[in-house]
Amino acid sequence: MRQEFTAQTRKEIKRACKGRVMSNLGRCIGVNFLYALPFVLLLVMMYLAMFGRVFAMVMAGYTDEYMLSMALTQSMNTVWIVVFLMIVISGPLTLGMMRFYLGLQRGEEPGVSTLFKPFTSLRSVWTGVKMEFCLAFRSLLWMIGPTIVYMLLAFSLAISAAMSGNANSASVVLTVLNVLYIIALIPIEIKVMTYSAGWVILCDDETHSVWDATREAAGAFKGQYGKLFVFVLSFIGWYILLMGAVYLCSGLGIAGVALVKGGTGIAILVTALIAALCLGILLGAFLNAYEMTSFFGMYEYLSTPITPVMGPQDTSFTDSWPGQGGDGTPQ
């Protein structure tokens, strides 16, 4: 028997987690920045590896398309190295970030160094990599069925439209099909989200099987998918604020370039883009920490069983069997 998760419970968990995140906002920003930094550097490396040689050849005056395409093909081999490095660092970094958020949710004050702590142990690195693959595989298992059905229906619709020549009606049906596919993915995404609570189990015990950890974590949300969906929707206002702030600053910058000519307009654009970037980092770090700590709080609440309260017991000793009086005579 487990505790009932009500709207009031959700509000209390979110209120507590929001306060902890605000008290450690600098650390949350630092963790999110350091988490994204290696991936940004690897993407820059991949871009330079793919197009750097071709760009250098073009600048040197090479115009032979065959030579340029061969140089691009040879550069593609470097992509696999970058992808491998991303896979290797993604799991441990995510494990470190989940440890940070879990400590924050439990009222601790984890340091930014928590993010890199998994790299001090090969077992932690391997645990993070396995968990990333496990979550990706579980997501694939849930999504492959609806995706195949969607692709078959879309392919059949395209053939039917080509044979009948009625492209307008086919376009309407395809739009409806796309909407139905998106709607079908919503409960799947909610289900897949429950598996990510397995990070909590692994943070407490790295020797735990990743498959069992995700299964046990998802079991805590059994019968609570509707409440989890409402939980996710409760953050939509923050996402609207985040996107609105970023797009507003970017729009002001573009309007400044269009209305103000010369260097002043460019200065307005650069300032607006810097403001959009700073707001995106600040609000994004806050929202990510706020949502994950609240999600972990919801999981720990649901996974904690209710301890039955025992009534007062008569502890006086009696030397009698059930059904007998205190003097041993049958009642």
Phi and psi torsions of 204, nearest 5°: -85, -30
Q: Which residues contact 147 (CB under 8 A, 6 or more apart)?
A: none
| 260 vs 142, more confident | 142
Q: Which of 30-44, 114-128, 144-158, 310-324 has the lowest mean pLDDT?
A: 310-324
pTM equals 0.82
Q: 213-227, pLDDT tens digit by residue?
A: 999 999 999 989 999
Digit-coded pLDDT (tens) for 11-55: 999 999 999 999 999 999 999 999 999 988 888 877 777 766 666
Of the candidate ranges 44-58, 116-130, 179-193, 246-260, the one whose mean pLDDT is the lowest: 44-58
User: Which pLDDT score is estimated for 158?
Assistant: 76
User: Residue 242 pLDDT > 70, yes or no?
Assistant: yes
Mean pLDDT of 169-197: 88
Show me where the domains of the chain are located. Answer: 121-224
Q: What angle do CA 184, 138, 189 make, to 5 degrees?
A: 30
pLDDT top residue among 260 and 10 = 10
Name the percent of the chain lying above pLDDT 90. Answer: 50
Nearest CA to 24 out of 111, 138, 122 is that of: 111
**For residues 150-156, average pLDDT:** 86
The rounded distance, in Å, linking the Cα atoms of 204 and 127 is 12
User: Residue 62: left (phi > 0), alpha (psi -120 to 50), or beta?
Assistant: beta
User: Kind and range of the H or E element at 141?
Assistant: helix 122-164
**Statement: residue 327 has pLDDT above 60:** no
**Burial 257-274, CB ≥16 within 10 A → b, else e:** beeeeeeebeebbeebbe
Q: What is the mean pLDDT of the chain?
A: 84
- Asked whether the beta carbons of 318 and 326 are under 8 A apart, the reply is yes
Question: Given pLDDT bands bounded at 50, 70 and 90, which one contains residue 326?
Answer: very low
Q: pLDDT class for 81, splitting at 50, 70, 90?
A: confident
